[in-house]
């Protein structure tokens, strides 16, 4: 299924991986959101469960093995082009996850992977992070407390 101008919504999974007062983010290497900092994750493959997809995507992008603990948020991400046509349409399922193994490295679709302190998520940060990403990370911090 093509991602740009799809015939149907694409299911995506995202991992909110927290450690103390930090969250793991990657810098996207491809559209949509190329260059922005985001949660590790991506599109679900045919025959994959949500949990299998999140595990595969995180391993591919960060080198870490994770255990999905609980769903934090489910939402739509629809991007339209100048003519109003749907250029991207994702249904995203973001999970709070725990690291079980591996070594952090940048791989696959990511240009970088870093642990960011919670205070670095604000709008004055040097990192370009979409407001909906910051909101779901904050929700995960609150759920964990």
- CATH for 63: 3.90.79.10
The answer to whether residue 38 is domain-embedded is: yes
Q: What is the mean pLDDT of residues 20-46?
A: 90
Q: Is residue 39 part of a domain?
A: yes
Q: Does the CA dihedral 129-131-135-136 come out positive or negative?
A: negative
pLDDT at 1: 73
Q: Could you tell me which of 43, 37, 44 has the C-alpha nearest to residue 23?
A: 37
Domain annotation covers residue 4: no
Which structural domain range is residue 21 located in?
A: 10-144
User: Do the beta carbons of residue 40 and residue 19 sit within 8 Å?
Assistant: no
Asked if the model's pLDDT at residue 32 lies above 70, the reply is no
- What's the pTM? 0.91
Q: Per the structure, how many domains does the chain have? A: 1
Look at residue 5 and tell me if it is in a domain: no
Q: Output the pLDDT for position 130.
A: 87
Would 73 be classed as within a structural domain? yes
The pLDDT tens digits for 89-144 are 999 999 999 999 999 998 777 889 999 999 888 766 778 898 899 999 999 999 98
Give the integer Cα–Cα distance in Å for 121 and 136: 11
Question: Is the residue at 61 inside a domain?
Answer: yes
Assigned token pair, 44: 């679900």
Looking at the domain assignment, is residue 103 inside a domain? yes
Radius of gyration of the chain (CA): 15
Phi, psi angle pair for 75, to nearest 5°: -155, 165
User: Residue 128: inside a domain, yes or no?
Assistant: yes
The predicted structure's pLDDT at residue 142: 95
């Amino acid at each position: 299924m093509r991602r740009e101008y799809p015939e149907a919504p694409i299911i995506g999974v995202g991992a909110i991986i927290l450690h103390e007062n930090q969250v793991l983010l990657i810098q996207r290497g491809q559209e949509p959101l190329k260059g922005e900092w985001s949660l590790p994750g991506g599109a679900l493959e045919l025959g994959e469960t949500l949990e299998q997809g999140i595990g595969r995507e995180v391993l591919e992008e960060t080198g870490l093995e994770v255990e999905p603990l609980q769903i934090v948020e489910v939402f739509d991400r629809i991007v339209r082009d100048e003519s109003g046509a749907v250029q991207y349409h994702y249904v995203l399922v973001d999970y709070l996850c725990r690291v079980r193994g591996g070594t952090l490295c940048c791989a696959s679709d990511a240009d970088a992977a870093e642990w960011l302190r919670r205070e670095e998520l604000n709008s004055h940060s040097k990192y370009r992070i979409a407001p909906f990403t910051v909101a779901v990370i904050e929700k995960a911090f609150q759920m964990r407390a």
